[in-house]
Every structure is written in C-alpha cells, then in structure tokens.
Amino acid sequence: MQVSVENIGALERKVHVEVPETRVVSEVSNRLQNMTKTTKVQGFRPGKVPLKIIDNRYGEQVRKEVVGELVRTTLFEAINQENLKPAGQPQIEKVDDAAGKALSYTAVFEIYPEVTLQPTDKLKFKKPVCKISKSDVTSMIEKLRKQHHELKPVDRAAKKGDVININFEGFIDGKPFDGGKAENYNLELGLNSFIEGFEDGLIGKSPEEEVVLNLKFPKDYGKEELKGKQVEFKVKINHVNEINLPNIDKSFIEKLGIKQGSEDTLEAEIKKNMEREAELSLRRQLKDMVLDVLHDKNKIELPQSLIMSEHDRLKSELEKNLKQQGVDAKKIASASESVLVEQAKKRVSLQIILAEMIKQNNLKADPKKVREMVEHAASGYEDQKAVIDWYYSDQKNLAEVEVLVLEDNVVDWVLEHADVTEKECTFDEIMNKRQTSL
C-alpha cells in the first residue's frame, strides 16, 4: 500500500492511498469462493454451485462491498502509518476502483494541532479565600428574618424601607406600552428595582394618593424599544406597609428546620451552611479562573470541523432551553450566532489544552472521586440508588463524570505548580462576584 500526505492548510491534510489490485482481487475471490458453499441456485445442490456462476451473478456487488470496506480499513492503516491524528470525520473523494488496476482514493481531513503549553510555574493567580465571620452570620440571620417578614399596614406617608402596594401604568408618547402596567404590585422602597426616579417619586406619598412621574428609561435598558425613551407613569398608592421582622425565638428557629435549637445552635448551623456554600462557590470560581488563564495563555490553531460540531451542539442546547421556556427558537438574533461561535472556539481550545495537560502529567480520574461526584449528582433524587446504578451500568454514562473529575485534577495540578497568592474576600463578595486572576 502506497501513501502520500499533502499539507493543504495549517491543519488540513490530503491523503492519497493506493491499494494493490492483488489485495482487492484476493478478497473478492475469497468471498465468492465462500458463497459457493452457502448460496442456493436452482439446478445445483447446496455447496456445488460453480464459482463462475456465483461470479456472474454476484461478482460486481461483492467487489463494491470489498472496495468500500478496504477504503475504510486502509485509511485507518494509512493514518496510523503516517502518525496523523484526525479531528473530525475524513471526507473520501476521487475513488478509482476500476478493475485491472490499483484501488486508489483521496481522503481530506483536519488534524489536531501540536500543542506547546506555557510553563505552569509562570502562571499567576490571586486565589480568593473566605473566612466566615461573626458579622457574616449575623447578616445572614437578618436576611433570613427578612425572608420571613410580615407586612403591617400603616396610615402614614411612605418612607424608604416600606413596602407599598401600587397600581401603575406607563405611557410613551401618550400610548401605553407592553410590560408597563401592573395592579396590586408590592414594591419595597430603597431597593432601586425600578428605573431611576420611580421609587424616589413615591417616598412621602400616602395611601389612596395618585402620582404622575415623568421619567426617562436609561440608554442601556434591557428592552431595545424603550432605551432612552421619555415615559410617564401614573401611579396609585393602595397601601403603605411596614416590614415587621420575626424575633429570633423558638418558633423562628423551627421554621428554618432546626428542631429544639437555641440561638447558638442556629448560628452554628448557619455558619456551617455558609462555609459549605462558600467552598462550592470558591471551587467553581477557581475552576473558571484556571480555565480562563489556560485558554488565554495557550493560543493554538483550531480545527474548523471541531468548532462547527461544538457550535451545533451549543445551538441545539440553546434551542432546547428556549423551547422549554416557550420562546420561539427561530427568533435567535444573528448576534447570538457570533456568540455561539466564540463559545465553541473556547470550548474546543480548552478541550485540546486539557487533553494535552492530562497526557503530559499522566493525570487519572480517581475512582473514589468519580464515585463521590456520582453520589452528589444522585443526592437530589428520591431513588438515589437507581441513579447511581444507571451511571455504573454503562461506561458511556460514567465517562461524562470522569471528564469532570479529570478537569478538576487539571485545576488542582495547575494551582499546585503555579504562582498563587491569596486574596481575602467576604462572604458576599464570594457569592455575588466572579473573582478574576492576574
């Protein structure tokens, strides 16, 4: 078998393969010979059909089957012989299988790029760390109290911190607009959940009072048709309510699921939950941080076939999610296409980079960690055993978990070998902000 490889691009390769005619003839002959033993032909006893008759009837069909199989098997042999690593499915073209001469064909495909990783010890990270303080716990308890608050109607003017019940309708150029009307809407003054000026215009207003607010939507407002537009809101104050927070007593503690607990028990339980939440959030942030740096510091040529495959997968997921939300997937803006392409490029790049790091450092998916991740995934289901059994019933199911464990291994390895400094963060910063690296 003769093989030649032509570089037709940074990653594109054209492979020309010639298979000796003797190999084709031999395989066709063997198959026809075997058919004489099993093929039934009227006028001949089983196993006594002459080879010539079998050849006349089935020779052309058998040759096509042999050629097809030889193209597949010899391409695999040629790729191994030339130490090529195809990215995506090879495209077969120019197959010449004329009788009496060598079988020849051309295959075109992209290969995986050669990856030269930046030295890990040159990478720098600011690792966020968080210690839950007494004030963090106190703040969380106040948030929990507020979640369980009661509203007490008051006969006075509204002030910041009150919850007012209102009817309102907005008009642009004298006409109402979609989403600009509501009745019996509870609005907490001071949260600035409406556009600038709306809440301030209602402070000092009393029940049954009607107010007209002339405002302007910000230029960066979420709805394109409302950006920068002048708007008039007609508002009626139905009720003014004070927020009454519950006392930290036995009843309140039991509402939080703590039976026979004291205030000290409540604080200890909340601190433990906050530490767990902070740890999970920090882990996600660290992983994102490491992956972002690996992607930014290791620029590689990417196979277009892998990018388009990942793009199609992301688009399919997006369309599925939109459909579940009742949104017409066909209305995806053209701008979303460029976003999907960039996401696909980043994912493909990271897949290649992580695979190279796993290979170079001989990282393995620890079965114990795989089991822990499977059990964690199953913990949200009623029949946890059935979920665990499903993962372990098929290696394909387990492979997805093993990939995640390997990604975690890469993150751990990088942080062990990189230049890492710690950055103290509060609980709120950890939970509400994405940490960045240098």
Q: What is the CATH number of the domain that holds 10?
A: 3.30.70.1050
Indicate if 26 and 54 belong to the same structural domain: yes
Please check whether residues 300 and 402 belong to one and the same domain.
yes
Q: Give residue 213's domain range.
A: 150-244
Average pLDDT value for residue range 132-153: 93
How far apart, in Å, are the Cα atoms of 26 and each of 17, 67, 283, 355? 18, 12, 61, 42
User: 95 and 236 share a domain?
Assistant: no
Asked whether residue 166 is assigned to any structural domain, the reply reads yes
* Domain's final residue, options 111, 134, 158: 111
Q: What's the mean pLDDT when you consider all of the chain?
A: 91
Domain-located, residue 382: yes
Q: What's the pLDDT tens digit per position in 105-132?
A: 999 999 999 999 999 999 999 999 999 9
Residues 274 and 359 in one domain: yes
Q: What is the pLDDT of residue 39?
A: 85
Whether residue 345 is contained in a domain is answered as yes
Work out the pLDDT band at 409, boundaries 50, 70, 90: very high
CATH number of the domain that 298 lies in? 1.10.3120.10
> Which pTM was predicted?
0.74
Contact 86, 79 (CB under 8 A): yes
The answer on 352 and 217 residing in a single domain is no
Structural domain includes residue 279 = yes
280 within a domain of the structure (yes/no):
yes
Residue 253 domain flag: no
3-state SS, one letter per residue, for the chain? CEEEEEECCCCEEEEEEEECHHHHHHHHHHHHHHHHHHCCCCCCCCCCCCHHHHHHHHHHHHHHHHHHHHHHHHHHHHHHHCCCCEEEEEEEEEEECCCCCCEEEEEEEEECCCCCCCCHHHCEEEEEECCCCHHHHHHHHHHHHHHCCEEEEECCCCCCCCEEEEEEEEEECCEEEEEEEEEEEEEECCCCCCCCCCCHHHCCCCCCCEEEEEEECCCCCCCHHHCCCEEEEEEEEEEEEEEECCCCCHHHHHHCCCCCCCHHHHHHHHHHHHHHHHHHHHHHHHHHHHHHHHHHHCCCCCCHHHHHHHHHHHHHHHHHHHHHCCCCHHHCCHHHHHHHHHHHHHHHHHHHHHHHHHHHCCCCCCHHHHHHHHHHHHCCCCCHHHHHHHHHHCHHHHHHHHHHHHHHHHHHHHHHHCEEEEEECCHHHHHHCCCCCC
Length of the chain: 438
Can you give the CATH number for the domain in which 208 is found? 3.10.50.40
Residue 41 has pLDDT above 90, yes or no: no
User: 343 pLDDT exceeds 60?
Assistant: yes
Domain termination residue (choose one: 57, 81, 111)? 111
Whether 345 and 389 share a structural domain = yes
Q: Determine the pLDDT at residue 100.
A: 86
Q: Which has the closest alpha carbon to 69: 41, 106, 27, 102?
A: 27
pLDDT band, residue 331 (cuts 50/70/90): low
Domain count across the chain: 3
**Claim to verify: residue 275 and residue 367 sit in the same structural domain:** yes
Q: Above pLDDT 70, what percent of the chain? A: 97
- Report pLDDT digits (tens) over 357-408: 999 999 999 999 999 999 989 988 989 999 999 999 989 889 989 999 999 9
Q: What is the pLDDT of residue 46?
A: 78
Q: What is the pLDDT of residue 437?
A: 35
Specify whether 166 is located in the same domain as 52.
no
Do 11 and 84 touch, CB atoms closer than 8 A?
Answer: no
Do 99 and 192 lie in one domain? The reply is no
Residues 17 and 161 in one domain: no
Residues 59 and 191 reside in one and the same domain: no
**Whether 282 and 210 share a structural domain:** no
Residue 165 domain flag: yes
Pick the more confident residue, 259 or 308.
308
pLDDT digits (tens, 9 = 90+) for 4-36: 999 999 999 999 999 999 999 999 999 998 888
Q: What is the mean pLDDT of residues 146-173?
A: 95
- Residue 250 included in any domain: no
